[in-house]
């Protein structure tokens, strides 16, 4: 009998739940470019309500949401201050330069968590010689820093001080509901001071497609135009929005399970030969392992795990990422650990065979 795959590559791999599929089949639809899709309209209104914002916009992906926000907030030639591991800088295909014509000014921060002190020294005012700062961007949770979470007073202070300096602040909140669960705070508390917020329906919340951008009415009207420029006017998108509505109502309350599973994995991986991880730092659903002590690169390790039905991606040669989500239960985690033990515990001869 073949065993089911344990897919720890990302929480993007979640498939729609039966409730989502039912809602999709029954969705009322219309043409969303004419603003006539009732299900999209409901999703946008509900997202705005949950985040206590004037308006929200359904976009096909987190990348489009972030890039539309950058385009609306900035002018060409300006700089965007973000953490060195930010998704907008590393994983959005250079789009801030290609589309908005802006430069990233990156700052390395411990655990991916910027502070106002780190940002302040990078802010460039109007000058005859230098490009000017147009935007500050934070990511919560910070994906490439291992799902770390901004303490509320730190992100609040950044927003307050950036605003005093005349700068807008955008939040890449792809996993903001995970941050909310980790801090036991509402997403409103975590996001109220940001000028705009992007969050994903298609990650831990489990919807098949889509992200939301939330902000003021004026901001969202501009972002709607940018979405259209990017080819993101989706017509009868109610079939997707229907799954998003289910995700928004049902999924946040179960993210705690993903966090417990991530900590469960981290604690046991930490005991394996050649693997380094600090379980105490695993506070949401993402874990990074340092694997060089195993004698394998993360890419080789990844191949060996895959051959036994466990999927996890190498990020750098020394680092591997695992992400827990709705489609991986505790038994799946146990199976992943068992396979990992078999691979890293194998004698060197077999390892390099």
Binding residues for ligand TLP, rule: CB under 6 A, are 10, 12, 61-63, 66, 87, 91, 139, 143, 172, 174, 200, 202, 211
Interior CA angle at 90 toward 225 and 50, to 5°? Answer: 50
Q: How far apart are CA 88 and CA 240, in angstroms?
A: 24
From 120, 170, 180, select the one nearest 150 (Cα to Cα): 180
List of residues 6+ apart from 256 with CB closer than 8 A: 181
State in angstroms the smallest separation of the CB of 252 from ligand TLP.
17
* Residue-level length of the chain: 353
Q: How far apart are CA 236 and CA 239, in angstroms?
A: 7
From 259, 275, 335, select the one nearest 7 (Cα to Cα): 335
State in angstroms the smallest separation of the CB of 334 from ligand TLP.
23
User: Judged by CB, which is closer to ligand TLP: 61, or 133?
Assistant: 61
State in angstroms the smallest separation of the CB of 87 from ligand TLP.
4
State in angstroms the smallest separation of the CB of 132 from ligand TLP.
25
State in angstroms the smallest separation of the CB of 227 from ligand TLP.
13
Within 13 Å of residue 228, how many CA atoms lie on the same side as its CB? 10
Phi and psi angles of residue 56, each rounded to the nearest 5 degrees, phi first? -145, 160
State in angstroms the smallest separation of the CB of 347 from ligand TLP.
33
State in angstroms the smallest separation of the CB of 316 from ligand TLP.
13
State in angstroms the smallest separation of the CB of 215 from ligand TLP.
17
User: Judged by CB, which is closer to ligand TLP: 60, or 134?
Assistant: 60
State in angstroms the smallest separation of the CB of 107 from ligand TLP.
17
62-81 per-residue burial string, b: 16 or more CB within 10 A, e: under 16: bbbbbbbbbbbbbeeebbbb
User: Judged by CB, which is closer to ligand TLP: 61, or 298?
Assistant: 61
Query: If 0-12 CB within 10 Å is exposed, 13-18 middle and 19+ buried, where does residue 36 land?
Result: middle
From 304, 306, 302, 337, select the one nearest 317 (Cα to Cα): 302
Using Cβ positions, the residue closest to ligand TLP within the complex turns out to be: 62
User: Judged by CB, which is closer to ligand TLP: 79, or 172?
Assistant: 172
User: Judged by CB, which is closer to ligand TLP: 44, or 139?
Assistant: 139
Interior CA angle at 33 toward 29 and 36, to 5°? Answer: 40
User: Judged by CB, which is closer to ligand TLP: 173, or 332?
Assistant: 173
Radius of gyration of the chain (CA): 21
User: Judged by CB, which is closer to ligand TLP: 204, or 272?
Assistant: 204
Cβ neighbours of 129 (radius 10 Å): 5
User: Judged by CB, which is closer to ligand TLP: 243, or 272?
Assistant: 243
User: Judged by CB, which is closer to ligand TLP: 120, or 317?
Assistant: 317
Q: How far apart are CA 264 and CA 287, in angstroms?
A: 11
Strand partners, 251: none
């Amino acid at each position: 009998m073949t065993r089911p795959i344990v897919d720890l590559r990302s929480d993007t791999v979640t498939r729609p739940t039966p409730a989502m599929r039912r809602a999709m089949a029954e969705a009322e639809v219309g043409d969303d470019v004419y603003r006539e899709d009732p299900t999209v309209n409901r999703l946008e209104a509900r997202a705005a309500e949950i985040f206590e914002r004037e308006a929200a916009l359904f976009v096909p992906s987190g990348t489009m949401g972030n890039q539309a926000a950058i385009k609306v907030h900035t002018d060409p030639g300006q700089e965007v201050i973000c953490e060195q591991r930010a998704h907008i800088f590393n994983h959005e295909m250079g789009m801030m330069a290609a589309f908005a014509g802006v430069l990233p000014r990156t700052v390395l921060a411990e655990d991916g968590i910027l502070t106002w002190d780190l940002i302040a020294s990078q802010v460039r005012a109007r000058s005859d010689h230098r490009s000017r700062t147009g935007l500050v961007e934070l990511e919560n949770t910070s994906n490439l820093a291992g799902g770390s979470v901004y303490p509320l007073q730190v992100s609040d202070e950044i927003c307050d001080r950036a605003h005093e300096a005349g700068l807008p602040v955008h939040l890449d909140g792809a996993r903001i509901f995970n941050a909310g669960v980790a801090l036991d705070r509402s997403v409103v508390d975590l996001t109220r001071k940001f000028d705009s917020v992007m969050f994903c329906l298609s990650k831990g919340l489990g919807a098949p497609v889509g992200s939301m951008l939330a902000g003021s009415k004026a901001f969202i009207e501009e972002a709607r135009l940018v979405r259209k420029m990017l080819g993101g006017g989706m017509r009868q998108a109610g079939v997707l929005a229907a799954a998003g509505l289910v995700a928004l109502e049902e999924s946040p309350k179960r993210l705690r399970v993903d966090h417990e599973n991530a900590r469960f994995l981290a604690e046991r991986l930490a005991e394996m030969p050649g693997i380094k991880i600090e379980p105490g730092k695993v506070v949401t659903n993402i874990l990074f392992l340092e694997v060089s002590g195993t004698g394998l690169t993360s890419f080789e390790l990844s191949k060996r795990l895959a051959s036994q039905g466990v999927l996890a991606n190498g990020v750098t040669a020394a680092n591997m990422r695992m992400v827990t989500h709705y489609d991986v239960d505790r038994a799946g985690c146990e199976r992943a650990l068992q396979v990992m033990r078999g691979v890293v515990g194998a004698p060197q001869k077999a390892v390099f065979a």
